Structure 1
Amino acid sequence: MSSPTIAMNDRPVYLLPGWLNSDPDHWQSEWERRHGDVRVEQNDWEWPRRGDWMARLDEVLQNDARLDATPALLVAHSLGCQLVASWAQHSAHTARVAGALLVAPPDTEREDMPPQLHNWQPIRRPRLPFPAIVVASSDDPFCRPERAAGMAADWGAEFMIAGALGHLNTASGLGAWPEGRALLKRLAD
């Protein structure tokens, strides 16, 4: 794996896409191209297994020796938010993370969850051991705002509503999403 480009006040930035990965027009892909942020690749984007995704994130963070001195920032979208919460509950390496931007966390406890995501129940809710900001949409089809607010509260994260922007993905028309980048900068500072 190549070393991440230094970004955000010399902090490496790792992108954690959700189920099915982030397509080329997604803001995460745009950040990867524009800022050199590094996408954490998973072995199976279609049938994501929580334990496998957690192990992969742990492996990536352990293998970046720079994180001993300069912890990284995590930028999660959708199921990537649930990955951060699950990983943080079990990993011995959470000190390698300075903060997390958690965008559009899905409610994986909904009755209409696709079968591919059933192993992401229950939602892990312990307080995160690093600062975090949860950004939700008022009309996200995968999570009601009050459910997202509840997750943020349990995780000890700041909570923000971005407006009526769906799942805060490509269909939301965010482009490079400078507002999200400003929130990440706030975490970096």
Structure 2
Amino acid sequence: MKISETDILLIPGYGQILPGHWLLRWRDKMATARVVKQTELHAPSKKEWLETLVGEVDAAKRPVVLVAHSLGCILVAHGAHVLKDKVKGAYLVAPSDWDREGLVEEFDGGDFKPVPTDPLPFPTHVVASRNDPYCTYERSEHLAKAWGATFQDAGEAGHINLESGHGPWPEGMMSFAHFMKRLR
């Protein structure tokens, strides 16, 4: 599947997405990509975030491919059953483990817990780091397996965000291109 033939929905995670983050860079590089803008970035509601995502998917004019980071990955897992008809695939980067107590001091995971472990109804690829402070490598690998996803070891890449040095993240773009080639 070609990027130009799809609507790429970029789904940030918990908190503010800062300029230079790879998601924003991808938005700027792909003409059919747009960021799903959520409200309450520091006190998210699964219901509200899912309604926003469903609205974006419904508004799409082409087949949809989701690209999510952190809590955005968990949102995709929660909403898979209502997204399955229009979504052709999901590329999930650095899922965060909201089942872990004290993951973020300001937010306890709310209604995003428990993290879903049902198989996702569309092709999915998970990229995980060996030293992500928000999810152990083993937990990411377990989630990928439960979701029926292919799994990619990103090495010691932190949370694959600006703080871990992943602004441009060219390796991610190449991995995403390979994922897109597998979709029909």
State TM-score, norm by structure 2: 0.91
Given candidates 166, 174, 177, the residue that maps to 2:169 is: 177
Residue type of the partner of 1:63? Answer: A
Q: Which residue of the other structure, out of 34, 38, 41, is the alignment partner of 1:42?
A: 38
| Paired letter, 2:43 | W
User: Per-residue deviation at 1:9?
Assistant: 4.4
Query: Within 5 Å, which residues of 2 pair with 1:129-144?
Result: 129-144=121-136
CA offset digits 1:9-31 (Å, max 9, x no partner) = 41111100000132111100111
* Identity across the alignment (%): 37
Pairing partner for 2:53 from 57, 64, 68: 57
- Quote how far apart the aligned CAs of 1:174 are: 2.2
Task: Look up the equivalent residue of 2:154 and give its one-letter code.
Answer: A
Q: Which runs of 5+ in 2 are unaligned?
A: none
Name which of 88, 91, 94 aligns with 1:101. 91
Q: CA deviation at 1:59?
A: 0.8
Matched, 1:12 2:4: no
1:187 equivalent among 165, 179, 184: 179
Range that drifts further, 178-187 or 36-45? 178-187
1:98, 1:188 within 8 Å by CA — same for their partners in 2?
no
Aligned-residue offset at 1:183: 2.0
Aligned equivalents of 1:21, 1:131: Cα separation in 2: 28
Q: Report the count of equivalent residues.
A: 177
In 2: Cα distance, 1:136 partner to 1:72 partner: 23
2:96 alignment partner AA: P
Which of 26, 30, 38 is the aligned partner of 2:25? 30
Moved more, 34-43 or 72-81: 34-43
SS for the counterpart of 2:3 is coil
Once residues 176 and 73 of structure 1 are traced to their aligned partners in structure 2, the CA distance between those partners, rounded to angstroms, is 20
**Equivalent-residue separation in structure 1 for 2:116 and 2:17 (angstroms):** 23
Q: 1:181 Cα shift?
A: 1.4
State the secondary structure of the residue aligned to 1:87.
Answer: helix
Amino acid at match of 1:44: E
Aligned to 1:75: 67
Deviations 1:159-189 (A, max 9, x none): 1110111100001222321221122222222
SS across alignment from 1:123: coil
1:142 alignment partner, SS class = coil
Counterparts of residues 95-174 of structure 1 (less than 5 Å): 95-114=85-104, 116=107, 117-174=109-166
Consecutive unaligned residues in structure 1, runs of 5 or more: 1-6
Q: CA deviation at 1:87?
A: 0.6
**Paired residue type of 1:141:** P
Two-structure CA RMSD over aligned residues (Å): 1.4
Q: How many angstroms apart in 1 are the aligned matches of 2:142 and 2:48?
A: 26
Alpha-carbon distance in 2 for matches of 1:143, 1:25: 23
